[in-house]
Chains A and B, each alone.
Chain A
Amino acid sequence: MDEPLRISASIVDYALVVAYFAVVLLVGLAARRRVSGSLDFFLSGRSLPAWITGLAFISANLGAVEIIGMSANGAQYGMPTMHYYWIGAIPAMLFLGVVMMPFYYGSKVRSVPEFMLRRFGPGAHLVNAISFALAQILIAGINLFLLATVVNSLLGWPLWVALLLAAAIVLSYITLGGLSAAIYNEVLQFFVIVAALLPLTLIGLHRVGGVGGLIDRVEQSVGGGAEQLRAWPGSELAGFDNPILSVVGIVLGLGFVLSFGYWTTNFVEVQRALATPSMSAARNTPIVASFPKMFIPFVVVIPGMIAGVLVPEVMRLKAEQAAGVTYNDAILLLIRDVLPNGLLGVALAGLLAAFMAGMAANISAFNTVFSYDLWQRYVRQDRPDGYYVKVGRWATVGATLLAIGTAFIAAGYSNLMNYLQTLFGFFNAPLFATFILGILWKRMTATAGWAGLVAGTLGAVAVWVMNEAGVISLPGQGAAFVSAGVAFVVDIVVSVLVTLVTAPKPASELSGLVLSETPKRLRTDPAANRLPWYRAPAKLAGISLVLVIVLNLIFR
């Protein structure tokens, strides 16, 4: 696949890429001078404004898999890909900001596993911390692999050189500056990514004759058609022929279990919100993030669709002829075909930035969970703060080395998007079930906490194994939707059954952790009433929800 993808970068393009990495390293160095206590290192001293953490919140998710995967989906399926944003992200982000964040922020935990510890005790904590750390290393490996693949195919550097170089850069800036540097760089990355993707989209649209030209070409193209221009019912994407089943599958599978599971319990995301100075700012983080998030598909999915009607290789692919490329290459091929030298360098910097953002986010979340939830809790307790900061640094180095290993595992998978969705089904769906039940139902016991998690994960694994073995037959994304749904239901059922036969924690220990036991003043910001509307979480969330409904109506 390297020959069709080779891009003729000039010295100017390289200079633009180098400039980006130089700034990233400078930010790390500058941030290093401010690292003091361990809380500062891990949570940036809770001092960042909501618009910064909000953009970091998006960037942490706008990684390799997102850009490559969503543009590939755009090329293959067209507009139904928008569901990953408008159904699969926005509602869950708003729910996180409005409902869940008060419990995270108000209980002053440093990580999601720490919340499990306070609510359910060591059993659920250990299960969650280990599975989370494992998932982060696996996902970091995917990001690292994609990063190296792009460097390899664009610039011709050998894969292993690209891997080591990418790992070294990610490592140096996290180790240098901690979460502050990671968050600052994520904000920077967001703008570089937009600076890369927006011209790509506009020039691409110009090449196909504007929006009208794109619509005509998609309608008439082989492997295209009118249904690729409408978001609903999305039968091709969900893999269900029946339009009603398809809508139900997208709304419940993608929109509820998978997306709520991902956005509300994924510590990579939540950690960004915890770095703000007030409850309102923490709640605003995902809500502010939802506004740019709903427009990102226009510069990710649309270029994929343009590639599907403009790039010869992708057109052959859609016509089911031998093309020598995959849908994953769609956005790279479009960059090759429409961007002149100069903008090409910005695009390369943007892509490399995005790929690093994802990996850096995985590594810094791993780092927190490893040093506080595993090392401090189960290996060495009661050491001074500096000791755990040092452990955190070494954990970062170790995680990066492990990610190089898991990158080679990821290299063995042909469809990384399905692999990733499957991982989310295993880890996030049961966690979401346990979490939401634990917040709402004060009787839920400690044993039920870990038993539900384990049973839910096993349920998802069972569905996956049956699908792999051919006992049941579900199409690509459908399998991930169903196994996440099974994990959710099994977790709830097991948790309820176990709770009924075990003794609950005394209500006095549940303050700040369970809705009915938390006084209202702990869940709200005392200054919230005086905030202007653009800083009030509930009002902002309402505006965001209306906007996303309008988008769905326009593109139905």
Chain B
Amino acid sequence: MSAQTPLHHCLDDNINAICEMFGHSDDLSVRLLDLPENPMALLFIGSLVDRQIVDEFVVNPLLQSGLGDASLQNGLPVATSRFKALASLEEAAERLLQGDTLILADSPAKAYSADTPGGEQRPISEPASESVVRGPKDSFTETIQINIGLIRKRLYTTDLRVINLNIGNTSHTPITVIYLQGIAREDIVTEVQNRLKRIDIDGILESQYIEEIIEDPHGYTPFPTIFSTERPDRVCAGLLEGRVAILTGGTPFALIVPSVLPMFLYSNEDYYQRFDVATFLKVLRTVTFVLSFTMPGFYVMLLTFHQEMIPTMLLIALAGQREGVPFGIAVEVTIMELTFEILREAGIRLPKTIGIAVSIVGGLVLGQAAVSAGLIGPGTVITVSLTAICSFSTPSYGIAIASRLIRFVLLFLSAVFGAFGFFCGIIFLIIHINKLRSFGVPYMSPIVPFHLRDWKDILVRFPWWAMTTRPHETAAPSARVRMRGKNKWNGDPEGSRPT
């Protein structure tokens, strides 16, 4: 921090100095209390404090006490929970910016800060991006204190460690690192803090800033290697697996590290439903994720190079549909894919009411018209729309975007080189994913390197009483056991069956 300026000896000088620091900003309120023996001044930033608290717990007690010299020695009669004497003007300014009220006293000149947090906050609402049918309905807000509370209210343990950092040379954004002592790997916790402390940036407005700065160095990748979520239960589940959460002030999206590929394919609702249903949905979602980037390429490859594989009747039907279509199949699919991407982009940015109109025009009119005008074969429309639905069923937005990019690459490869190009693309993709690491943990982690125990949570979900271990790569070696696995109710509380 910069050099500390001590307080001046006179009240007016102090007020002036602080006002000077803020450049006489109009939202810095100065309230002079003309107490008979001891003139005082209250300073606060109107938009950051709660006026009611200031009036009720700071101004009122001060005025009523009448305050003489003696009471100043015993401390001010201020009724807020955090109250602190300040030594320098810089410290005073910092407290002001955190939403505190400064109390400046004269003869001797002193400064105190009382916490009067306020300002507008969004109430806790349902998560917009990850909705569930069954499960907690709250989500993070933009206020970091509320977010920490949401986590604390789920994990009532002293092992929960909360580390506050301020990052951003101008914004001083509060960043909080949260982990469970004894479950998280120490080396990962230190690594997270080291990487965060190295950040040198003017401001952080969203956790994506942090994500891009601290992710592992692996060259270019479209895949997110840090998981972001706005659901506190998801963060807590991560913490219980030994992961580390990073909360960022000003955004409801928390980061979870280290994160692996399967995390992005599963919804937290998989853990709130019956395990057999959840297993089915997990398999389904994995398949749709793969389809969401392979399908257009596969379709083009089949129709361009490997017609012999298509059953004869289907081939005749497809060929019949495409009679009179002027474009090659690859061009056709590319046009439709691009159209779909444009539609999606247009739909997101528009107000909801117009968005519906866009989807009607785009989906119905364009698709239907293109087919009936003979520009596009119906098979292509089916393929493209199925791909779109598959990509919507991916629970994580970050990885769905990645699959959008990969889709076009695979499309190109299979249009030019056929099956060989397509499979080369897939092989390249697998090498690439294998290359990725998230805080040292391989991205494909329980799949390769192979950890059999973690497969209870890959593709299938075992019932909760069987989930006896924590992930091999993320949990500390001493904390691999989640539970003893004897808590399955066997109908007999005493442990011995009556004969």
Same complex origin of A and B: no
Residue numbers of B with Cβ under 8 A of A are none
Residue numbers of A with Cβ under 8 A of B are none
